[in-house]
């Protein structure tokens, strides 16, 4: 199965945003002037016009009042709520690049910006087992650009909660897992990220049914991104986002502390490193160490 090409056609939200831009320019107003009347920033008005943010009903009502559009924006905003939501993973990736803080709960795999190249490639191969190598390479390129975000000291502050299942699920083989976990540990020791591990023993929690990402911006409201199989959805409704923020706080409270999480991540990296070098006749010392780490972290040997 070949991966689907990215849909670059204008979204319905972009078309509504273009209409907003038309009326604004027709009245000779700047984005900042419109934003002031809506109690929003000019930058956020630009996002509405580009379609990267949805025009919410309460904003649509005010736009209709400002430009005397006879309820045009409110009617179309209401109609858009009834449409099937498309995959918004591309929009989420764009938003991620402008965020000042990223909080992410990862239930199954290491989050995109924390992955090594080998781990990212292994995830793609797992999801697209019959895809041609050129297709995998095309999909890998934008992922590698996201990974570079953490190389910049001015990049977003990152707080991630890894489910313990992420550490135990061996993707790409033991050597790939060892390097992937070691990179997370390095970022933690450099104080570039905050990472916690949510133990399986913690039981149920608010995000048990899926991944959750929260993106905070300097000039726009917080966005939530919900990832599911082969799709994703951005949420910008303030009340709903506030519920997700509360859920994330509860997840963090149920997780190991960052120092304890670092110890576990590093011990798991060591386990996978030993596993990658394991031979048919390992030395007794190496074998004992290998089994001790595996038992300590409840891994089936």
**Which tens digit of pLDDT belongs to each residue from 260-276?**
999 999 999 999 998 88
CB 155 within 8 A of CB 105: no
Please indicate whether residue 284 or residue 200 has the higher confidence score (pLDDT). 200
Between helix 72-80 and helix 57-67 the angle, nearest 10°, is: 160
Report which secondary-structure segment, H or E, holds 169. none
Q: What is the pLDDT of residues 57-92, one digit of tens each?
A: 889 999 999 999 988 888 887 666 655 445 567 788
Q: Which two tokens stand for residue 279?
A: 């031979």
Which phi and psi (to 5°) does residue 234 adopt?
A: -90, 140
Which one, of 163, 146, 153, 247, lies nearest residue 201 by Cα? 163
Is the per-residue pLDDT at 2 higher than 50? no
Fold annotation for 12-80:
434 Repressor (Amino-terminal Domain) (1.10.260)
**The pLDDT of residue 276:** 86
**The pLDDT of residue 129:** 86
**The pLDDT of residue 76:** 81
Q: Which CATH architecture has domain 89-296?
A: 2-Layer Sandwich (3.30)
Query: Could you tell me the residue ranges of all domains in the chain?
Result: 12-80, 89-296
Q: Which two tokens stand for residue 249?
A: 């706080």
Residue with tokens 């933690």: 188
Q: What is the pLDDT of residues 201-227, one digit of tens each?
A: 998 898 888 899 999 999 888 999 998
Mean pLDDT, residues 227-241: 82
Q: For the chain, what percent of residues have pLDDT higher than 70? A: 83
12-80 and 89-296 share one fold: no
């Amino acid at each position: 199965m070949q991966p689907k090409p990215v849909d670059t056609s204008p979204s319905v939200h972009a078309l509504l945003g273009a209409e907003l831009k038309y009326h604004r320019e027709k009245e000779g107003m700047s984005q900042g002037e419109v934003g002031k009347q809506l109690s929003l920033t000019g930058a956020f008005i630009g996002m509405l016009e580009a379609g990267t943010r949805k025009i919410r009903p309460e904003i649509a009502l005010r736009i209709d009042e400002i430009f005397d559009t006879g309820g045009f924006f409110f009617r179309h905003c209401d109609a858009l709520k009834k449409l099937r939501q498309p995959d918004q993973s591309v929009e989420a990736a764009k938003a991620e690049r402008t965020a000042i803080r990223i909080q992410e709960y990862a239930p199954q795999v290491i989050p995109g910006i924390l992955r090594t190249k080998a781990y990212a490639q292994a995830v793609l191969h797992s999801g697209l087992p019959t895809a041609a190598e050129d297709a995998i390479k095309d999909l890998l390129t934008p992922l590698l650009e996201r990974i570079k975000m953490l190389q910049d000291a001015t990049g977003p502050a990152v707080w991630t909660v890894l489910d313990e299942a992420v550490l135990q699920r061996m993707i790409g083989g033991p050597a790939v897992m060892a390097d992937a976990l070691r990179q997370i540990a390095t970022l933690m020791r450099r104080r570039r990220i905050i990472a916690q591990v949510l133990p399986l023993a913690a039981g149920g929690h608010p995000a048990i049914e899926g991944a959750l990402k929260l993106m905070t911006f300097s000039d726009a409201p917080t966005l939530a991104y919900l990832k599911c199989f082969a799709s994703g959805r951005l949420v910008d409704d303030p009340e709903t986002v506030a519920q997700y923020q509360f859920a994330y706080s509860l997840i963090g409270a149920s997780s190991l502390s960052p120092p304890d999480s670092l110890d576990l991540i590093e011990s798991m990296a060591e386990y996978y490193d030993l596993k990658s070098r394991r031979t048919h006749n390992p030395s007794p010392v190496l074998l004992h160490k290998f089994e001790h780490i595996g038992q300590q972290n409840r891994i089936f040997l």
